[in-house]
């Protein structure tokens, strides 16, 4: 029966497995951003909290886009189990350092999947991934700009207040 079901999808087991790993990564990113937003809320950084709540939702949308793609192609998307999400962070700046590290890791993961798709001549999935690869340019850019605010403004005195105000204005213009 398993072989018969495999014939109903153009996804190889390897690519399907990689996409399910990416689903989990996106879900974990969403949960991490949600936790970061909660930390900011508790520490009075309202604009940053709103920004991070939006990031959490965006990561969930990415997860769902991949989830639906796997199922649409006859594969089996797996609902991920997420654990080990930090609820405490060392600092306001530390949140944005972690956000940038997370976005770089996501970019690297998408690059690995795209490379595997090219190797396996899975151009349908490779084409699907192009949207995510382009999206990661924006994600990394925004994470870097947010982090740069800590250098440009500084955290002393009213610095964190000013950084929180500016976070709301960070956007990507291609």
Q: What is the pLDDT of residues 10-59, one digit of tens each?
A: 799 999 999 999 999 999 999 999 999 999 999 999 999 999 999 999 99
Give the separation between CA 135 and CA 47, rounded to whole angstroms.
Answer: 23
Instruction: Please count the residues of the chain.
Output: 174
Q: CB-based contacts of 98: which residues, under 8 Å, 6+ apart?
A: 32, 36, 89
37-to-30, 57, 86, 136 alpha-carbon distances in Å: 10, 11, 12, 20
Q: Which domains does the chain have, with CATH numbers?
A: 2-167 (1.20.1260.10)
How large is the average pLDDT for residues 127-133? 97
0.85 exceeded by the pTM? yes
Query: Cα 113 from chain centroid?
Result: 15
pLDDT value for 173: 82
Average pLDDT, the chain: 94
pLDDT value for 172: 87
154 torsion bin: left (phi>0), alpha (psi -120 to 50), beta (else)? left
Residue 6 has pLDDT above 60, yes or no: no
149 torsion bin: left (phi>0), alpha (psi -120 to 50), beta (else)? alpha
Query: Computed from CA positions of residues 30, 26, 69, 108, in that sequence, does the dihedral angle turn out positive or negative?
Result: positive
Reading the block at residue 46, the tokens are 């309202």
Quickly state the pLDDT bin for 143 (edges 50, 70, 90).
very high
Question: Is there a contact between 139 and 106 (Cβ–Cβ < 8 Å)?
Answer: yes
């Amino acid at each position: 029966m398993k072989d018969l079901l495999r014939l109903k999808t153009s996804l190889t087991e390897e690519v399907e497995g990689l996409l399910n790993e990416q689903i989990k990564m996106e879900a974990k990113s969403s949960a991490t951003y949600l936790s970061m937003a909660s930390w900011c809320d508790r520490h009075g950084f309202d604009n940053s909290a709103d920004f991070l709540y939006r990031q959490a939702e965006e990561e969930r949308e990415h997860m769902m886009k991949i989830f639906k793609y796997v199922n649409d192609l006859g594969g089996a998307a797996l609902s991920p189990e997420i654990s080990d999400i930090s609820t405490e962070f060392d600092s306001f700046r530390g949140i944005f350092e972690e956000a940038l590290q997370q976005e770089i890791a996501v970019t690297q993961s998408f690059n690995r999947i795209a490379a595997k798709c090219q190797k396996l001549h899975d151009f349908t999935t490779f084409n699907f991934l192009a949207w995510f690869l382009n999206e990661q340019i924006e994600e990394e850019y925004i994470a870097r700009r947010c982090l740069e605010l800590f250098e440009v403004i500084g955290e002393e005195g009213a610095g964190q207040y000013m950084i929180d105000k500016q976070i709301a204005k960070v956007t990507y213009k291609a």
